Structure formats: C-alpha cells, structure tokens
Amino acid sequence: MELIGRRTDWRSVLEARRQKGESIGVVPTMGALHDGHLSLVAAAVGRCDFVTMTIFVNPLQFGEASDLEAYPRDLERDLEVAEAAGVHAVFAPSVEEMYPAGKPSTVVAPGPLAARLEGTSRPSHFEGVATVVTKLFGLAGASSAFFGEKDFQQLAIVRQLVADLDLPVEIVGCPIVREADGLAMSSRNRRLSSSEREAATALFRSLVAGRQAVESGCSAGEAEQTMHALLQGAPRIEPDYAVAADPINLERLDPEAKPAGTLRLLVAAGVGPVRLIDNLAACPPVTGAGRQIP
Ligand code: AMP
C-alpha cells in the first residue's frame, strides 16, 4: 500500500490507474479508523479496481479549536488497518499541503440543506466539509466515493454538491455500522469514559422508540416527543435535537401529520466531552387496499 502526502502525487497515481482502464474508489475519512470506515472500504473493494482512502482531519469543518485538538489521531495504526482491509493507496496530507495559504479564499457554500439540524449547532461545519470534499474530488477525478449514512446530512449535502457542480464522481451511501448494543461506531466514542459509553446507547434507544412510534401509526410530532422523552430521561445526556425528517431534503415533517412514506429520524446529543449523532429510517404502517392495520 502506498502512502501519499502530496496533492500532485495523489492526482498522478490515480490518473495513471485510470489510464490503465481501472476504476477508482475513494473513501474519505478523518482517520482513527473503526469498522464503520472499513465497511466503506469493503464496499469500495467490491466495486472498484483501485481503492484509495484519504485521512485528513480538516480544520475548516471544526468550530472550536479544542474539538479539533482533541480529535483522535493514530496514523500508524490506521495505515496497518487500511492495508489489511485492501486499500491500495492512502492520501494523508498535512494541513499546510491542503491549505498552503491558510483558509482558502474560495469556499463552497452548500445551501439550505446545510442550515438545518447539524448546521444549527455547527454553523460553518458543512461549508468546511463541502470545501474539502470538492478539493478531494478535484484531485481524485472521475471516481466513485463512499460515504456512511452515519453522517446522513453530510451524505445528502455531498450528493447535492456533486449534482449542482457536475463533479464526475458517483456517490455511494453505505449503512451505519453499530456496536453490539446499538451505539453507532464513531471515532469520537474513544473519548467517552465507561459510564459515558454506557449512557451513549440512549441515542440508538431513542431512535428505536421513535421508529416504533412511527410504525404504530403515530404522527411525526409524537415520534419526536417519544425520542425527546427518552433522551431527556437518560443520565449524562444533553439532548440537542430529535427530529423526524424527509429523507431527501431533511426538512422537518409537519408534526401534526401522519407521515405518508419512509422518513428519517435524526438525533444529536452531548455525552460528556463529545457530541454524538445518529439516525434511523422509519416506515409508517401501510394503509389501504390489501392491508389490515390491527
Ligand atoms: P469520519 O472519519 O468520521 O469523518 O468518517 C468518514 C466516513 O466514514 C464518513 O463517510 C462517515 O459517514 C463514515 N462512517 C463513520 N462512522 C460510520 C459508521 N458507524 N458506519 C458507517 N459509516 C461510518
């Protein structure tokens, strides 16, 4: 496996592979790899001839300097894990390599999708994400890129970005990988104490309770209240949002209305020193001809 630090080198390596007729799979990450990241690699290995992972903790998408500093980094272990998973080349540039002049004067504004949910608590977060993803795609060229549904809003924004800017990249969304007790895998979980780690399961439990509410025919607002109640009653949890949203544009559904089709439940909460997010699909009961709802 090749380790690449320079933008020009990464571009040349991928261009040479394309010249040989190989398809390119890109897996963008911030490192501190876990099985969630490796599921993206597995999807890329299954679909593409040449798989490249990027490992870059992007300062532009962090609000507070303390959060950026505390973000876990472990490049040596990441390289071993990536190689064992079948990655052919890792692009791990320094901050100076990616942003030689500091914050770039051209940034990518991702529009209304970025203003809701995570955007409310982290105002410039998605601008930072959209800017670095655009740079990575500019360097990678024609390829498929693999993103996790764990960051559901990010995935929606990246899909929109690629469509709006005609970037030659196919976006592949991959399901969330969870621990045995339901907690969505995240590099940030490493920063939880054992009691916080136990408390963190409240996010998934609230989503499951919300899904049950939707499945039993509750309104979107009732499902949200169910999730809120569970988060509020959980120890060590500072709820941020618990929302029933349209799965494409992530607009909050009318709380009074019974949802008509599959929707997405999304939650965010503080747990000790970290902020965690999670989400789950939920389907309302099918009504009408051929189905009896008890
Ligand atoms: P990150 O390193 O946290 O920026 O994540 C890099 C990519 O891995 C993103 O596309 C994430 O959505 C994805 N990812 C992170 N955690 C998981 C997970 N538990 N399951 C699936 N994908 C994940």
Average pLDDT, stretch 87-95? Answer: 99
Q: Do strands 237-245 and 263-271 pair parallel, antiparallel, or not at all (unpaired)?
A: antiparallel
Residues tagged active-site: 37
Q: Among residues of the chain, what percentage have pLDDT more than 70?
A: 98
Nearest CA owner, ligand 1 atom 15 = 36
Token pair 């990249």 is at which residue?
A: 169
Apex 25 CA angle, 137 and 262, nearest 5: 85
Following DSSP, what letter does each residue of 210-268 receive, concatenated? HHHHHHTT--HHHHHHHHHHHHHTSTTEEEEEEEEE-TTT-PBPPTTSPP-S-EEEEEE
Q: How far is the CA of 64 from the centre of ligand 1 (A)?
A: 21
Ligand 1 test: best mutation among 30, 37, 266, most atoms within 8 Å of CB? 37
Residue type, 85: A
Distance in Å, CA 184 to ligand 1 centroid: 9
Q: How far is CA 169 from CA 29, 158, 186, in A?
A: 17, 10, 25
- Is the CB–ligand 1 distance for residue 158 below 6 Å? no
Q: What is the DSSP letter of 150?
A: G
Cβ 27 under 6 angstroms from ligand 1: no
What is the rounded CA–CA span in Å between residue 109 and residue 160? 11
Residue 187 has pLDDT above 60, yes or no: yes
Asked if 110 contacts 157 with a C-beta cutoff of 8 angstroms, the reply is yes
Whether 5 shows a pLDDT value over 50: the answer reads: yes
Sheet holding 263-271, edge to edge: 237-245, 263-271, 274-282
Q: Is the C-beta atom of 30 inside 6 A of ligand 1?
A: yes
Dist CA 130 CA 154 (whole Å) = 9
CA 102 – ligand 1 centroid, Å? 26
pLDDT tens for residues 21-60? 999 999 999 999 999 999 999 999 999 999 999 999 999 9
pLDDT of residue 72 exceeding 80, the answer is yes
At 215, the pLDDT band (50, 70, 90 cuts) reads very high
Strand order in the sheet with 50-55: 2-4, 89-91, 50-55, 24-29, 143-148, 169-174
Rounded mean pLDDT, 258-279: 97
Q: What is the CA radius of gyration of the chain?
A: 20
Q: Which token pair is 257?
A: 């209305």
The number of the ligand 1 atom at minimal distance from the alpha carbon of 176 is: 20
Question: How far is C-alpha 113 from the geometric centre of its chain's CA atoms?
Answer: 14
Q: What is the mean pLDDT of the chain?
A: 96
Say how many Å lie between the CA of residue 151 and the centre of ligand 1: 7
Closest CA to 124 of 58, 63, 43, 191: 63
Q: According to the model, what pLDDT value does residue 290 have?
A: 47
**Is 279 a pocket residue for ligand 1 (Cβ < 6 Å)?**
no
* Residue with CA nearest ligand 1 atom 11: 148
Predicted confidence band at 287 (pLDDT cuts at 50, 70, 90)?
Answer: confident
User: What letter represents residue 52's amino acid?
Assistant: T
pLDDT value at residue 286: 85
